Structure 1
């Protein structure tokens, strides 16, 4: 073992002991250390797993009488070293039970306009769009919750341990997939580039294949389609829609342009197909959107409102 490996292992053991402390509150520092180097996370979780195996072994090991030491009085006492080992094992078991039953939250957030890629313990990757918040628990590495924003998932498939994404009231189950998920104001949108995704929203269920898209919300499951190559086009500053409701288009634009964008009721359910880049200046972008969407854009403070060209 190299000096660097020994240092990482010492640090990992130190973090493991600290995380086991019921009063531990340095989750951000722990998360930063785990993500600073791939060897950090590998070493930490290897040691944590070994600890768990040790505790399980102690639970199932047959009971054995402790070695006794005779003293002149005729009484017998357990050897001091054996007692220390037993106490240490008991403490380890208690610490493990407390640690393994306690949530280990991991929250990843991006600022408006920022993209960030994270690699999970199983090798799966998640690309976060700007203004996105993803919540995870290190105890459940294949379960995540998209609280706000948009994310692209490239999942390492494991039939025995399905990858789950919770987004609003919908639960997505990976069936071997690259898929895009957007948290909407009143639901979620899912689009699949490769593989399949099972979507459960209340009592409704559907399976999406490459090129399939669905919006899950108060209106139920609204099925649509998307070119597989367009599923992740937002990563390069291009937004694409195919027969999308204007209310959803506005939410995509709001996130991409980092400004509130409201929609007049008369336009909410209008359908739109097309694409545009999001790199133009605000003034040019406004003119382009008016022409592309066939709307009039009025300014409301820092935001925009999409209005019909003519009053209904």
Structure 2
């Protein structure tokens, strides 16, 4: 685009294009040619990329909208849109028209408040529109949407500590991975790395489910309990935490590794690294590591591993550091 000031019609055309590409790229029949065409459109002007990112946030809001009833009729001769595509279209329209937005709020379809937060180089404290406080760990991201019948957070990546404003008639739900944490008012921590999720409850109670597609509200946690789940789990694994639990050390900028195997430690270390550490084999993963580290200085931990453990480092074809165990010396005869 060469003009410094766009007309309303030109701006609307870019918004419409962004909505089109958002829907096409999420469609199962999107082709490689279409994806290349989208990349050309996106890279043609910074405003294109900006509008597309804004449309992705609307898409996230649509995640919480209800699915249409099976009786919805789709005209013959046109590809059937998914429920989420209908929801996104509804969001775009309703957010643009105040009256429709008001109606969408009263029907429980649309939020009256939407917030997006990220923390990159520093821990970040934010306050949600309902008064709840959230502390975001490094490299973390979440969104919040306030609906008439509930408050919805999506933890997109990383880790967050929640202090939820008590409101039994307005449940607070956190989506993390394939699961969900449901509360009314409490203090708890949620950590997510790849397909792993861990929930630590400090105060109050929460219901944790490992898969939102399964019936029921999940398993209840009480104070000093934690739940773990990952992709494909039928239900979370529940365990007790103890006074020396270090799960919240990140709030003080620390990572505590309490005699963990490298297999257990790497997910905690990798969330702070630009290039995640890899294990050469399962045997290397059994080597144990401990210590207290500054989360902003974990690159130095990587380089110091060969000094503290019987390992050496190599690089794979993607440039990731790989931990290899030192060969065992044969016994002397």
TM-score (norm 2): 0.55
User: Is it true that 1:153 corresponds to 2:166 in the alignment?
Assistant: no
Cα offset for 1:230? 2.8
Maintained 8 Å contact 1:145/1:167: yes
TM-score (norm 1): 0.58
- What CA distance in whole angstroms lies between the structure 2 residues aligned with 1:276 and 1:298? 24
Cα offset for 1:187? 2.9
Which residue in the other structure is 1:49 paired with? none
Which residue in the other structure is 2:130 paired with? 122
Q: Structure 1 unaligned segments of length 5 or more: list them.
A: 1-21, 32-90
Which residue in the other structure is 2:320 paired with? 303
Q: Structure 2 unaligned segments of length 5 or more: list them.
A: 1-14, 17-50, 58-96, 329-333
CA RMSD of superposed structures (Å): 3.9
Q: Find the structure with the greater CA-based Rg.
A: 1
SS in 1 for 2:272: helix
Query: In 2 relative to 1, CA 95–149 (structure 1 residues): closer, same or farther, beyond 3 Å?
Result: closer
2:176 to 146, 157, 167: 167
Cα offset for 1:99? 6.8
Maintained 8 Å contact 1:246/1:267: no
- What CA distance in whole angstroms lies between the structure 2 residues aligned with 1:222 and 1:95? 40
Q: How does 1:82-161 map onto structure 2 within 5 Å?
A: 93-94=99-100, 96-97=102-103, 101-102=109-110, 105-111=114-120, 113-139=121-147, 142-161=151-170
Maintained 8 Å contact 2:261/2:285: yes
- What CA distance in whole angstroms lies between the structure 2 residues aligned with 1:268 and 1:213? 28
Question: How many pairs does the alignment contain?
Answer: 228
Which range is displaced more, 157-166 or 215-224?
215-224
Which residue in the other structure is 1:252 paired with? 268
- What CA distance in whole angstroms lies between the structure 1 residues aligned with 2:281 and 2:248? 29
Query: In 2 relative to 1, CA 289–273 (structure 1 residues): closer, same or farther, beyond 3 Å?
Result: closer
Query: In 2 relative to 1, CA 164–246 (structure 1 residues): closer, same or farther, beyond 3 Å?
Result: farther
SS in 2 for 1:149: strand
1:32-73 Cα offsets, whole Å, 9 max, x none, are: xxxxxxxxxxxxxxxxxxxxxxxxxxxxxxxxxxxxxxxxxx
Maintained 8 Å contact 1:242/1:272: no
Cα offset for 1:106? 2.9
SS in 1 for 2:144: strand
SS in 1 for 2:171: coil
SS in 2 for 1:230: coil
Which residue in the other structure is 1:237 paired with? 253
Which range is displaced more, 282-291 or 231-240?
282-291
1:211 to 208, 212, 224: 224
Which range is displaced more, 119-128 or 276-285?
276-285
The structure whose residues are more often strand, as a share, is 1
Which residue in the other structure is 1:190 paired with? 199
SS in 2 for 1:96: helix
Which range is displaced more, 164-173 or 215-224?
215-224
Cα offset for 1:92? 7.1
1:157-209 Cα offsets, whole Å, 9 max, x none, are: 22222211000111111254221111121231112222322211135932223
- What CA distance in whole angstroms lies between the structure 2 residues aligned with 1:292 and 1:225? 31
